[in-house]
Amino acid sequence: MEGTNCEYEAFESFRRSGAKPEYVHIKQLEDRRKKLTDFDIIFFPGGFSAGDYVRAGAIFAARVKAASGRDISEFNDSHRPIIGVCNGFQVMVELGLLPGESRLEKRVTLTFNSSGRFECRKVFVRIATRNRMIGSAYVGRNAWEIPVAHSEGRIVLDYPESTFNYLSDGGNILFQYVDPEGNPAGYPWNPNGSYGNIAALSNSYGNSIGLMPHPERIYYAYQAAEKLEPAAGKQFFDAIVAYSKSL
Amino acid sequence: MPGRKRKAAQIVKLIGLDDSRLPAISKRMKLGLSADEMIMLKNYFLSLGRDPRDIEVHAMAQAWSEHCCYKSSKFYLKKYLSGLRQEYVILAMEDDAGVVEFDSDHVYVLKMESHNHPSAIEPYGGAATGVGGIIRDVLCMGAQPVALLDSLFFGDLKSGHGEGQLDQRFVFNRAVAGIRDYGNRMGIPTVAGSLAFDRSYSGNPLINAGCIGVARRKDIVRSRVTQSGDLLVVAGGKTGRDGIHGVNFASRSVSGKREDDIGSVQLGNPVTEEALTHAVLEAMEAGILDGMKDLGGGGLSSAVGELCYAGGLSAVVFLDRVPLKEEDMQPWEIWVSESQERMLMAISEKNLPLLDAILETWGLDHAVIARVKEGSNLVIEFHGETVLDLDLAFMTSGPIYCRNYTLPEKKEFTRTQPKEPADLNSLALEMLADFNICSREPVTRTYDFTVRGSTIVGPLTGSIDAETHSDAAVVKPLEDSFRGLVLTSDSRPIMVAGDPYRGTLNTLSEAYRNILVTGGFPHSVVDSMNFGNPEDPGQLGKFVESLRAIRDFCQKFSLPVVSGNVSLYNQNRDQNIKPTPVIFMTGIIDDVRKAIPSYFTGEGNSIYLIGNEDGDLSGSCLLHHLGYENTSAPFVDLDELSSLRKSMDALISNDVILAAHDISDGGLFVALAEMAFGRSIGASVDISETNGGRPINKLFAESGNRVLIEVAPEKEKLLSSLVTATIKKIGTTLGDRIVIENVNMNLIDVKVEDAKRAWSEGLSKMI
């Protein structure tokens, strides 16, 4: 929809990993010209949907819910991948897809960065759980370089410790921000002040994922500062596409 | 004016009026026309045998404004820049943006514009809509915008504000926020630019925004309509009362009374523009656009007029069909409004349903507002009544002035020599924290420079925990090619103020070197000229001298000037700004993976200085920092720069260079420090063999065409055969300190960490 703007690099990333991506505009869902259940993967790109002048992602989520709420539930129930990055992550939280359990609803929120400003920087993440889609894509390195660019990416929990433990035990914490050696660290390694350095969440089954960092911006090593092959983005999209094909 | 609905045009009585009363009419109607121009207008209507309607007078005032017709600058632009063409240029200074060959199938499209006057009174809106406008200039050529640049100039942040001015810190913060919010919401990375502070910009900040896009060569859409019978569709934002008389305002000095001018400031909505971008590119992809023009300065008046006039046609406009924000707008207000996010598209009638469908998907307001026709007169109808009927050629061409100018007096280029300070270490740290030198991170970090995934080198570069400034940004615009754009935007206002000809050459040399040290070859130039009052012969003389420098430089290096912008009347009260030509230079790199870092890559490598130094401190940040008024600028040896170019080409093709950085603001010392910051690697340097006289000259002079390179020891033997320019080894990369010796005396010894802190903290307290 208007204001969504990371779709080009996401489209190319899927294409490079062997999928046949297609742009779907919210209006096409509303007009019933396209149907989400006809697809194998849903990807909510980043950006500033509707300008983010209200709560980030709220308007996008409301429109998606109205147009395709039932299709999304069906999609999720069939364990097909649903991915949201940055603003797309915020949309997925608004839609209740993440963390994905009714008893966790409204206990996880994305809000303004601790620094109080928009920040564009490269950070490191490490995988924090076993995920059936990601598999072993992120073994072999303690820290994976990945870009972030947002002003509302701080994850806050209602009861920080207990909710964090609950999420952690449930395998909902997918990536955490770390320093270059792979250790948990504060700002700027954790760019937004997220509780427990949470960078990405998944639902318990593992097919719905929301990330603040942008894997679609770092598919190739030459897009990275550290120039290491393979880059985090390729690992991500290859894994999602491979999982989707295995269904 | 509530209650006055559907108000048709009023007659403005000119005929029979004494010429002496005409200026009062210009003033009352905020036309910005001079006494002579009002007489021309009166005579024109005398020849038609009738008085004009208000909309006709406003239309003429728009078309004849400095902003739209370049009446003071056109003569000189043509004289100096029209001959600078290269065969790979497709469109230079014809349409809304320049179009240059990128590879056999693709072109890049680029432009830079200033948005100075609106930013003076409303910095957030002014800067934001400056970004919006420049994106539309590139978009309307049918190109996908891929990167933004901005060169910004503000008053002294520490000085607070003068009477009737906004606080300088406020202006700075709000302008940066405006660029951030618009660029980030558009999803186009802001990758490069420059930032400078000087007292002369208090009350008249300069906001220069540049944009570059790519398109398939065959998809370029011209800013003209050549099919009689085509429909003109206006799409995007609605038309309102914001930005009325923007061009007239931009064509005079900021008055100091903000409330008088606030109505001239446009309001921006990036989300509408983001949708508009998608819609325009889809329509371009469908091949249904016969011509397109963005609605910027002068609104519909200049867009419709210029689109038709360029194609040798005219049009009948149905002005009541324009979608409005406020229903009671008068015809002239609709016609000259500069409301943002609007695009004018020419299409044939049979393609209208497809265009409608695209615009509706994106939720954009749109309407057919005119039909293109043969003939010389533009006609506007408003609810069936003809309110404007004017010869398009007369209206659009505008007067051209060849105003008198005086050249700066021939002078001896004097050198100012400040006293050598007792403690060079402290001076070095002070210089790193100087506003004109220190880290731009507090600004650039808030711009999304990685969106689209095509930024290979952004404004910040180096190890993730130790970033430094890059020399130029590198963008890879095409999925299936490693060819990249190398982008830089530079200015040296202190030098230009000292001597406009030499200062402009220094600016060009810096831009040129920024591209070379990044591994690219310079390819095209866009000039964004910000000067004072052209009615002052001395100010106009500076403008002319600056143009002469651009011509001489571009002729020497076979560079085309492909688009540009002139902003005059930049003054606050009687004080003119420092003359500020901004050079947006684009280079090409064959393979983005070979971009050269601006920072030391490892320990134990050799540091070489290429180029001659003469120690001239004129126009340097050091003198500015110490409070000297600059009256001179260093000589630029273009033959030497040519030799540097050949040397760099040879070094790059032989893979000799590990890192490279040009020497500019802050001189040799700052260049070394910035190279050290990118990976926290120190250097041990001995400058005994360099020329330049006293230590502060050697350390801080910014003269010459110099670059620093880092070379691995095993490659050093290749240097003598590859480099034709002067080259000297000055040190080794080593440890965690920057140590500089001169004739067995230690001048500087600082930890990289401490230097980095001083550099990083310079601006951080100001934003």
Per-residue confidence band for B155, with pLDDT thresholds at 50, 70 and 90: very high
Contact B638, B725 (CB under 8 A): no
**Residue B764 corresponds to which tokens in the numbers above?**
């951080």
Is-catalytic flag, A214? yes
B252, pLDDT greater than 80: no
Number of Cβ atoms within 10 Å of the Cβ of B736: 12
Of B185, B456, B458, the CB nearest to A48: B185
Residues B526 and B678: their CA atoms lie apart, in Å, by: 29
Per-residue confidence band for B4, with pLDDT thresholds at 50, 70 and 90: very low
Cα torsion for B500, B502, B507, B509, to the nearest 10°? 160
Specify the higher pLDDT residue, B4 or B357: B357
Residue B754 lies inside a defined structural domain of this protein: yes
Of B362, B479, B592, the CB nearest to A2: B362
Nearest CA to CA, how far is A203 from chain B (Å)?
27
Please report, for chain A, how many H helices and E strands are present, in that order. Answer: 6, 9
Which pairing describes strands B571-572 and B206-216: parallel, antiparallel, or unpaired?
A: unpaired
**Range of weakest confidence among A143-152, B26-35, B236-245:** B236-245
Chain A residues touching residue B450 (CB < 8 angstroms): 120, 147, 149, 214, 217
| Cα torsion B266, B272, B278, B280: sign | negative
Cβ-defined contact of B362 to A27 (cutoff 8 Å): yes
Residues B236 and B45: their CA atoms lie apart, in Å, by: 35
- Percent pLDDT > 90 in chain B is 81
Active-site annotation holder among B67, B117, B469, B624: B67
B602, pLDDT greater than 70: yes
Domain boundaries, chain A: 4-246
Over the stretch B58-96, which tens digit does the pLDDT of each residue have?
A: 999 888 888 888 888 999 999 999 888 899 999 998 888
Name the range with the highest mean pLDDT among A11-20, B301-310, B610-619: A11-20
| Mean pLDDT across chain A | 94
Query: Which range marks the domain in which residue B664 is found?
Result: 596-767
Interface of A with B (CB under 8 A): 2-3, 5-6, 8-9, 12-13, 25, 27-28, 46-48, 50-52, 117-124, 145, 147, 149, 180, 188, 214, 216-219, 222-223, 225-226
Contact B699, B668 (CB under 8 A): yes
Q: Average the pLDDT over B715-738 and give the result.
A: 97
Residue B396 lies inside a defined structural domain of this protein: no
- Can you give the pLDDT at residue B618? 93
- Can you give the pLDDT at residue B6? 55
Per-residue confidence band for B449, with pLDDT thresholds at 50, 70 and 90: very high
Nearest CA to CA, how far is B317 from chain A (Å)?
30
Residues B518 and B469: their CA atoms lie apart, in Å, by: 12
B257, pLDDT greater than 70: no
Chain A residues touching residue B275 (CB < 8 angstroms): 2-3
Alpha helix segments (H runs only) across B148-262: 168-186, 246-250, 258-261
Q: What Rg do the C-alpha atoms of chain B give, in angstroms?
A: 26
Q: What are phi and psi of B212, to 5 degrees?
A: -135, 140
Residues B241 and B334: their CA atoms lie apart, in Å, by: 8
- Can you give the pLDDT at residue B391? 93
- Can you give the pLDDT at residue B440? 96
pTM, to two decimals: 0.95
Q: Which residue of chain A has the CA closest to B476?
A: A223
Task: State whether residue B451 sits within 8 Å of chain A by CB.
Answer: yes
Contact B489, B583 (CB under 8 A): yes
- Domain A4-246 in this protein, CATH class: alpha beta
Of B270, B448, B465, the CB nearest to A149: B448
Is-catalytic flag, B115? yes
Residue B448 lies inside a defined structural domain of this protein: no
Of B271, B446, B455, the CB nearest to A3: B271
| Mean pLDDT across chain B | 93
Burial (CB count within 10 angstroms: exposed 0-12, middle 13-18, buried 19+), residue B766: middle
CB contact set of B423 (below 8 Å; sequence gap of 6+): none
CATH number of the domain enclosing B636: 3.90.650.10
Tokens 């239309």: give the residue.
Answer: B59
Residue B730 lies inside a defined structural domain of this protein: yes
**Residue B208 corresponds to which tokens in the numbers above?**
């220069």
Of A28, A122, A217, the CB nearest to B464: A122
A102, pLDDT greater than 90: no
- ipTM confidence: 0.96
Of A9, A120, A214, the CB nearest to B449: A120
Specify the higher pLDDT residue, B409 or A32: A32
Cβ-defined contact of B451 to A12 (cutoff 8 Å): no
Instruction: Report CA-CA distances (Å) from B292 to A78, B141, B235, B297, B361.
Output: 47, 7, 11, 15, 20
User: DSSP string covering B529-561, please?
Assistant: EE-S-TTSHHHHHHHHHHHHHHHHHHHHTT--E
Q: Which of B508, B711, B678, B696 is nearest to B609 (CA)?
A: B711
Cβ-defined contact of B361 to A120 (cutoff 8 Å): no
Size of interface A-B (CB pairs under 8 A): 102
Q: Average the pLDDT over B219-240 and give the result.
A: 95
Per-residue confidence band for B3, with pLDDT thresholds at 50, 70 and 90: very low
Q: Which residue of chain B has the CA closest to A221?
A: B593
Q: What are phi and psi of A149, to 5 degrees?
A: -160, 95
Task: State whether residue B56 sits within 8 Å of chain A by CB.
Answer: no
Number of domains in chain B: 2
Cβ-defined contact of A226 to B272 (cutoff 8 Å): no
Contact B467, B171 (CB under 8 A): no
Instruction: Report CA-CA distances (Å) from B139 to A139, B142, B342, B437, B451.
Output: 43, 5, 11, 34, 18
Q: Which residue of chain B has the CA closest to A49?
A: B271
Cβ-defined contact of B592 to A120 (cutoff 8 Å): no
**Residue B14 corresponds to which tokens in the numbers above?**
């000119």
Q: What are phi and psi of B236, to 5 degrees?
A: 115, -130
Output the furthest CA–CA distance in chain B (Å, rounded). Answer: 88
Nearest CA to CA, how far is A218 from chain B (Å)?
7
Cβ-defined contact of B187 to A145 (cutoff 8 Å): no
- Can you give the pLDDT at residue B232? 97
Contact B371, B316 (CB under 8 A): yes
Active-site annotation holder among A86, A94, A150, A152: A86
Residue B197 lies inside a defined structural domain of this protein: no
User: How many CA atoms, within 13 angstroms, populate the side-chain half-sphere of residue B36?
Assistant: 5
Residue B433 lies inside a defined structural domain of this protein: no
Active-site annotation holder among B58, B115, B366, B661: B115
B264, pLDDT greater than 70: no
- Can you give the pLDDT at residue B168? 87
A163 torsion bin: left (phi>0), alpha (psi -120 to 50), beta (else) = alpha
Residues B633 and B502: their CA atoms lie apart, in Å, by: 6
